[in-house]
């Protein structure tokens, strides 16, 4: 039996007649990073908000290590979260926001400076949150989530609105947290954004889980990796690739190869004696996965 950090069973939330979350069930095992993917309005935020008790579900349960959020003896040390709609007072200094959280949770105040250091905001500790950039606010959110050094993290689009550098920083930060064996549920619109980070992926669409599995399994469901390749002799390369069973089509000034992974494409070029000028693997976008999932059966 695997140790389950977050267990969601039959979770349903309606807003009026609209079903935002529809009978959703999944586990986040301890020590794993699970990507929670879905387009706008799919129900990601509502699900996360229900797990931390901000939204009361119409049906179903969510537990952290077997305990509903409301009954956690020490919530801050059990689960940290960045949730939609949870913010900071713009007129307050960063350090005050953290001290408020720390006092509420019975966490010593020196921990506030530790988490600011951890997210690289030590220099801005006395700055008002209203003067923070979006990226700094996201970091402060992560700092607040990390105050109690929880083993479970629920992060709703932590990279939302960040520039490429910021996204990279968030990724590196999550990887650092995960290496410590934490369970992390992180939501995103884009498979590509989390593909290299997560152990498994949950796909939600119109309130329903439509896929749950590893990134590889999802990618396979979406038709496998696409490789874009260009060479000094595309005709010869196309022939060599076709011989290995790939579907090859012309693409810009090169070839689009489906059915082979990048290493196979390289090997085929080597065997054919063709010099490659470009080789790029394309992870399918979430949209592709959706198309595949709606066209045929999903993966379980």
Partner 1 sequence: MGLIAAEIRKLASVTTTWVMTGIGVVLILLSAGLFLLLPEFGLGEFRGADPQLAFLVEQVGGASIVVLIVALLSMTTEFRHGTIGRTLQLTPSRTRVVVGKFVAGTLYALAFLVIGLVLVAILAGIGALTAGVGLDLAWQTLTAIWFAGVGLVLTSWFGVALGSLIRSQVVALTVTLVWLFVIEGAMLTFVPAVGRWLPFNALNAVLLTNDVTTPMGGPSPQLLDPLVGLATFLGYVAVTAAGAIALMRTRDV
Residues that bind ligand ATP (CB under 6 A): 15, 20, 38, 40-46, 84, 189
- Say which residue the tokens 């009954």 belong to: 71
Q: 101 or 260, CB closer to partner 1?
A: 101
- Kindly give the pairing relationship between strand 4-15 and strand 79-82: unpaired
x/- letters, 185..224, toward Mg ion (CB under 5 A): ----------------------------------------
- Build a one-symbol-per-residue string for 29-58: x at contacts with Mg ion by CB under 5 A, - elsewhere: ----------------x-------------
The closest alpha carbon to 234, from 218, 207, 260, 257, belongs to 257
CB of 223 to ligand ATP, least distance (A): 24
Q: Which is nearer to partner 1, 86 or 228 (CB)?
A: 86
For the chain, what percentages of helix, strand and coil (3-state, to nearest 5) are there? 35, 30, 35
Q: Which does 248 bind (CB under 5 to 8 A by kind): Mg ion, partner 1, ligand ATP, none?
A: none
72, 64 Cβ separation under 8 angstroms: yes
Under the binding rule (CB under 5 A), the answer on residue 231 touching Mg ion is no
Q: From the list Mg ion, partner 1, ligand ATP, none, which binds 43 (C-beta under 5 to 8 Å, kind-based)?
A: ligand ATP
66 binds partner 1 (CB under 8 A): no
Tokens, residue 60: 């179903």
Beta-carbon contacts of 178 under 8 Å, excluding residues fewer than 6 positions away, are 31, 33, 184, 197
Q: Which of residues 96-155 bind partner 1 (CB under 8 A)?
A: 96-97, 99-101, 103-106, 144
Residue 138 contacts Mg ion per CB under 5 A: no
| Nearer residue to Mg ion within complex by CB, 39 or 213 | 39
Cα 35 to Cα 11, 28, 78, 82: the distances in Å are 18, 10, 20, 14
Both tokens of 211, joined, read: 């896929």
Q: Which helix (H) or strand (E) holds 156?
A: strand 152-156
Beta carbon nearer to partner 1, 76 or 269: 76
76 belongs to the binding site for partner 1 (CB under 8 A)? yes
- Residue in 213, 165, 163 with CA at minimum distance from that of residue 191: 213
Instruction: Name the 3-class secondary structure at 231.
Output: strand
Asked if residues 79 and 149 have their Cβ atoms less than 8 Å apart, the reply is: no
Interacting residues toward partner 1 by CB under 8 A: 49, 52-56, 69-72, 75-76, 81, 83, 85-93, 96-97, 99-101, 103-106, 144
Question: Contact positions toward Mg ion, by CB under 5 A?
Answer: 45, 84
């Amino acid at each position: 039996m695997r140790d389950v950090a977050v267990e969601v069973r039959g979770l349903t939330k309606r807003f009026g007649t609209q079903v935002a979350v529809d009978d959703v069930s999944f586990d986040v095992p301890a020590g794993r990073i699970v990507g929670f993917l879905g387009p706008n309005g799919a129900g990601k935020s509502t699900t996360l908000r229900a797990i931390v008790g901000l939204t009361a579900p119409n049906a179903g349960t969510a537990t952290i290590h077997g305990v509903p959020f409301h009954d956690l003896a020490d919530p801050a040390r059990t689960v940290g979260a960045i949730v939609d709609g949870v913010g900071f007072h713009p007129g307050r200094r960063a350090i005050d926001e953290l001290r408020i959280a720390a006092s509420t949770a019975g966490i010593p105040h020196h921990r506030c400076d530790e988490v600011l250091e951890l997210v690289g905001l030590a220099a801005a500790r006395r700055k008002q949150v209203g003067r923070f950039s979006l990226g700094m606010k996201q970091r402060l959110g992560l700092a607040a989530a990390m105050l109690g050094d929880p083993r479970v993290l629920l992060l709703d689009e932590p990279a939302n609105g960040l520039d490429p550098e910021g996204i990279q920083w968030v990724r590196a930060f999550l990887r650092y947290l995960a290496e410590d064996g934490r369970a992390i549920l992180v939501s995103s619109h884009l498979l590509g954004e989390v593909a290299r980070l997560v152990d498994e992926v949950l796909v939600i669409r119109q309130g329903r889980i439509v896929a749950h599995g590893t990134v590889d399994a999802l990618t396979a469901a979406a038709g496998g990796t696409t490789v874009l390749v260009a060479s000094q002799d595309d005709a010869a390369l196309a022939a060599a690739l076709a011989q290995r069973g790939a579907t090859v089509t012309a693409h810009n000034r090169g070839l689009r190869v489906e059915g082979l992974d990048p290493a196979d494409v390289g090997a085929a070029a080597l065997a054919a004696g063709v010099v490659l000028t470009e080789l790029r693997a394309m992870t399918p976008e979430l949209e592709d996965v959706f198309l595949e999932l709606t066209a045929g059966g999903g993966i379980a």
